[in-house]
Amino acid sequence: MQRNPLDTTLCRVILSPMLTRPKAILFDLDDTLISAYGDPGPVWRRLLADHAEAFAPHDPETLTAHVGAYALDFWSDPARHKTWRLKLYEARREIVRGAFEKIGLLEEDPRRAALAHDIADRYSAIRDAEMKLFPESHALLDHLMDQGVKLALITNGEAAMQRAKVRRFDLEHRFHHIQIEGEMGFGKPEEEAYRHALATLGTRPEETWMVGDNYEWEVIAPRRLGLTAIWANNHGHEAPESEHEPHRTLAGLHEFWPLLKETGLA
């Protein structure tokens, strides 16, 4: 017997616990409030196509797949992730060079190592230039501030880079607390990152929401501490298998407004 998809949707709604009005909300930055690193494939493909002659007979599409696969493996190790996200530009150089080395491109022509670094640097420049604020971000933060909700921005990454984004997108005055990993010496998913934010805002876990796109950092770790987890799945990723599920999943910040109505904040 075929199940009606509507039945599954209704079941999820019924089983989802009612949200309580938060006293504080912790927001992630990249790919939560700003569009930053989602879907890197088209940029890699464009850059590799620019150098198609230098890589012949390897085609740009295949090279893009190799770089993407190497990047997934590179970032999958938590310890390596923690080290290299604090020097992101250098990490991208390592990824392109490593991908080229793995498939023998550097053995064929050692001069491609310098080209790998150039491509990685150009990728970084393009991604930085193309970052943009999600349309709903300012209005949502301003509304929450007006409603008396305490707001914290918790972002991983290198200090100067992340602080520059905060200024560029006019976010400084929209938070009671801004917490950048490179400035603090700790970051998500370390418990200290969440506990420090809670202590600074003066709220308890059960009074606080965590909103972000990284399933481990914004769902699994916060739920272990008793926070309400709102998964900002802006890029349509498949949720990993975990005993910890988000209290709500959003396809975009525009879906945050119904949550505010549910809790009397709108």
Does residue 101 have a pLDDT over 70?
yes
Do residues 40 and 68 lie in contact, with contact meaning Cβ atoms separated by under 8 Å?
yes
9-13, 17-21, 195-199, 254-258: lowest mean pLDDT where?
Answer: 9-13
Tens digit of each residue's pLDDT (9 = 90 or more) over 122-173: 999 999 999 999 999 999 999 999 999 999 999 999 999 999 999 999 999 9
Does residue 11 have a pLDDT over 60?
no
Task: State yes or no: cis peptide before 57, omega within 30 of 0.
Answer: yes
Q: Provide the residue type at 226 as one letter.
A: G
Tens digit of each residue's pLDDT (9 = 90 or more) over 201-251: 999 999 999 999 999 999 999 999 999 999 999 888 889 889 999 999 999
Do residues 233 and 249 lie in contact, with contact meaning Cβ atoms separated by under 8 Å?
yes
Do residues 202 and 185 lie in contact, with contact meaning Cβ atoms separated by under 8 Å?
no
Tens digit of each residue's pLDDT (9 = 90 or more) over 164-206: 999 999 999 999 999 999 999 999 999 999 999 999 999 999 9
User: Cα 15 from chain centroid?
Assistant: 27
| Claim: this prediction has a pTM higher than 0.75 | yes
C-alpha span between 230 and 215 (Å, rounded):
10
| 3 state SS for the chain | CCCCHHHHHHHHHHHCCCCCCCCEEEECCECCCEECCCCCHHHHHHHHHHCHHHHCCCCHHHHHHHHHHHHHHHHHCHHHHHHHHHHHHHHHHHHHHHHHHHCCHHHHCCCHHHHHHHHHHHHHHHHHHHCEECCCHHHHHHHHHHCCCEEEEEECCCHHHHHHHHHHCCCHHHCCEEEEHHHHCCCCCCHHHHHHHHHHHCCCHHHEEEEECCHHHHHHHHHHCCCEEEEECCCCCCCCCCCCCCCEEECCHHHHHHHHHHCCCC
Rounded-to-10 torsion of CA 244, 245, 250, 255 = -110
- The token duo for 61 is 């599409």
State the Cα angle at 88 between 111 and 30, rounded to 5°.
Answer: 135
